[in-house]
Amino acid sequence: MLTYPNIDPVAISLGPLKVHWYGLMYLLAFLCAWGLATYRAKQRSNWNAEMVSDLVFYGALGVVLGGRIGYVLFYEFDKFLADPIWLFKVWTGGMSFHGGFLGVMVAMLLWCHKYKKTWFETLDFIAPCVPTGLMFGRIGNFIGGELYGRQVSDPNFALGMVFPTDPLHLVRHPSQLYQALCEGLLLFIILWWFSSKPRPRMAVSAIFLMGYGCARFFMEFFREPDADQGYILFGWMTKGQILSFPMILIGVWMIWYAYQKKIFDWGPQKNT
């Protein structure tokens, strides 16, 4: 069994100013996305630094606004109905990946309108830069001792640990780290390799949808369901799995459609 590294969630404290690790993880996520997108833009003649900077800015707004609104609507709608102002109390915590995903979709539509690019050309470009952000986000969850895993069947399980934030003090899976590796690092490697060569329009986005959907669906078997949600369907299916399943189906259709149409948006490569 592992010992949970009881890290202070406040990374920097300067008088009344407190910078939390979770906020720093978001900053690292956006910086990493900007760096990766900048590198990808250098490989293409139809992208430039201004486009990338605006793209990351629009995406960051989509993540934050969509993530918060999605969390409220998907997971805490009753609380919102009782107190609509609670939506704006972001310091109380609460972000949803699926809400953030939808927020980014809307943000990308606005960006595409500004730069006159097609939606899927843009999504295919940015998709490989997303998983590292998911990885940092899950590390932030781990440091905060939130969204921990289910109880392990064997208390001597090598990766099991007791989270100090768990009122039951059970030996649990560090599912945040599982998700960081699976939804983050592994998905990044797959997408970066797949997108390193010209692919049909929608294909890279399809791999992201299928990859994240499958990874999240599987990881939910290790993650403790939210106390107020529990198992939604069939006595075992969680809200995260319900929201991820359509992503898998849409991704399967998209990859089929992409290779049927075979429309390429790569553009001429730059000489480097």
More confident position, 204 or 73: 204
Residue 175, domain extent: 10-198
> Measured between alpha carbons, how far is 234 from 221 in angstroms, rounded to an integer?
14
Specify if 139 maps to a domain.
yes
User: Is-contact 60 100, C-beta < 8 A?
Assistant: no
Structure-derived torsion over alpha carbons of residues 19, 223, 238, 105, reported in degrees to the nearest 10:
40
CA within 13 Å, CB half, 182:
18
Sign of dihedral through CA atoms 205, 196, 259, 241? negative
pLDDT at site 1: 84
**Does position 204 have pLDDT exceeding 60, yes or no?**
yes
> Measured between alpha carbons, how far is 60 from 188 in angstroms, rounded to an integer?
18
Q: Output the CA angle 109-112-115, nearest 5 degrees.
A: 155
> Measured between alpha carbons, how far is 139 from 25 in angstroms, rounded to an integer?
8
pLDDT at site 89: 60
Specify if 257 maps to a domain.
no
Pair of tokens at residue 53: 């900077």
Specify if 74 maps to a domain.
yes
Tens-place pLDDT, residues 114-136: 999 998 999 999 999 999 999 99
More confident position, 228 or 164: 164
In angstroms, the Cα distances linking 268 to 47, 105, 121, 193 are 11, 26, 14, 19
DSSP assigned state of 242: H
Average pLDDT value over all residues in the chain: 87
Number of domains in the chain: 1
Q: Bridge partners of 162?
A: 171
> Measured between alpha carbons, how far is 230 from 26 in angstroms, rounded to an integer?
27
Sign of dihedral through CA atoms 210, 215, 218, 219? negative
91 exposure class (CB count in 10 Å sphere: 0-12, 13-18, 19+): exposed
**Does position 192 have pLDDT exceeding 90, yes or no?**
yes
Tens-place pLDDT, residues 54-67: 999 998 888 888 88
pLDDT at site 90: 59
**Does position 228 have pLDDT exceeding 80, yes or no?**
no
Specify if 217 maps to a domain.
no
- What amino acid occupies position 67? G
Specify if 221 maps to a domain.
no
Q: pTM score > 0.95 for this model? A: no
What is the pLDDT confidence band of residue 212, given thresholds at 50, 70 and 90?
very high
Specify if 55 maps to a domain.
yes
Q: Taking residues 15-44, report their average pLDDT.
A: 88
What is the pLDDT confidence band of residue 239, given thresholds at 50, 70 and 90?
confident
pLDDT at site 93: 59
> Measured between alpha carbons, how far is 49 from 33 in angstroms, rounded to an integer?
13
Specify if 247 maps to a domain.
no
Q: Taking residues 220-240, report their average pLDDT.
A: 83
Specify if 233 maps to a domain.
no
pLDDT at site 271: 46
Known binding-site residue numbers: 138
**Does position 272 have pLDDT exceeding 50, yes or no?**
no
Tens-place pLDDT, residues 76-100: 777 767 777 766 665 555 677 778 8
pLDDT at site 159: 93
> Measured between alpha carbons, how far is 147 from 141 in angstroms, rounded to an integer?
6
pLDDT at site 70: 78
What is the pLDDT confidence band of residue 214, given thresholds at 50, 70 and 90?
very high
